[in-house]
């Protein structure tokens, strides 16, 4: 059995054990993995340094939220991930995955800037940017709010709009994208987000 099957089972088990809602569950893991794969395919010719790290990029992108501090203690979650990967990856690969997923959070980067991961720097950006592209999913922001903060849809909508104006719609001005693929996708996804925001506003109005 290759790593992908146990990896996805591990994500589903961790999601269930830590009551991780749909905004950071298996669907988000798969979406981040797909963005990472598409980024790799688009950029590996111009950025050949990521070629040896393809598997690290994919594993990190899929598993990155399984130690998210919103749902658990990050260090404890990361250690469980390290142990899980012992049968499937080398010590150097596991260390690379560990460093990528524990240093890629938006808040840490906005506070401290990009960390220095040496030869894994480009892989780090690939995983981080795949996750940022997933953040343009407005429904995902709504789901997180409804699941963890307030069950009121209007409050979830207002908070999500504020979040997008403060964070997602400023990814480019904050220079958070390093790859051309990410910049191109972000421009498309931003338009999708704006359309979704309008649609939600109409839906909410209909139920009043």
Asked whether residue 11 carries a pLDDT value surpassing 60, the answer given is yes
Residue ranges and CATH numbers for the domains of the chain are 4-206 (1.10.3210)
Digit-coded pLDDT (tens) for 174-201:
999 999 999 999 999 999 999 999 999 9
Contact between 134 and 140 under an 8 Å Cβ cutoff? The reply is yes
Give the separation between CA 179 and CA 190, rounded to whole angstroms: 17
Digit-coded pLDDT (tens) for 92-127:
999 999 999 999 999 999 999 999 999 999 999 999
Give the separation between CA 107 and CA 158, rounded to whole angstroms: 21
What confidence score (pLDDT) does residue 141 get? 97
What confidence score (pLDDT) does residue 108 get? 93
pLDDT (mean) for 9-38: 97
Asked whether residue 4 carries a pLDDT value surpassing 90, the answer given is yes
**Residue partners of 124: CB distance under 8 A and separation at least 6:** 99, 100, 103, 104, 114, 115, 117
Give the separation between CA 35 and CA 61, rounded to whole angstroms: 9
- How sure is the predictor about 2, in pLDDT bands with cuts at 50, 70 and 90? confident
Digit-coded pLDDT (tens) for 124-146:
999 999 999 999 999 999 999 99
């Amino acid at each position: 059995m290759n790593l992908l099957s146990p990896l996805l089972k591990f994500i589903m088990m961790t999601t269930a054990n830590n009551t991780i809602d749909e905004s950071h569950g298996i669907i988000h893991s798969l979406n981040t993995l797909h963005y990472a794969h598409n980024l790799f395919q688009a950029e590996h010719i111009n950025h050949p340094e990521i070629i040896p790290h393809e598997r690290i990029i994919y594993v990190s992108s899929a598993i990155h939220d399984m130690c998210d501090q919103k749902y658990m203690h990050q260090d404890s979650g990361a250690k469980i991930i390290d142990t899980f990967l012992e049968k499937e990856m080398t010590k150097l690969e596991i260390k690379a995955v560990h460093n990528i997923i524990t240093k890629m959070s938006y808040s840490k980067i906005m506070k401290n800037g990009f960390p220095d991961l040496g030869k894994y720097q480009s892989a780090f950006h690939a995983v981080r940017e795949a996750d940022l592209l997933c953040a343009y999913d407005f429904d995902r922001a709504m789901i997180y709010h409804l699941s963890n903060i307030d069950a009121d849809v209007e409050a979830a909508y207002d908070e999500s709009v504020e979040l997008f104006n403060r964070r997602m719609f400023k990814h480019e001005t904050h220079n958070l994208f390093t790859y051309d693929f990410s910049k191109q996708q972000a421009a498309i996804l931003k338009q999708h987000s704006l359309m979704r925001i309008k649609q939600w506003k109409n839906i909410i109005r209909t139920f009043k």
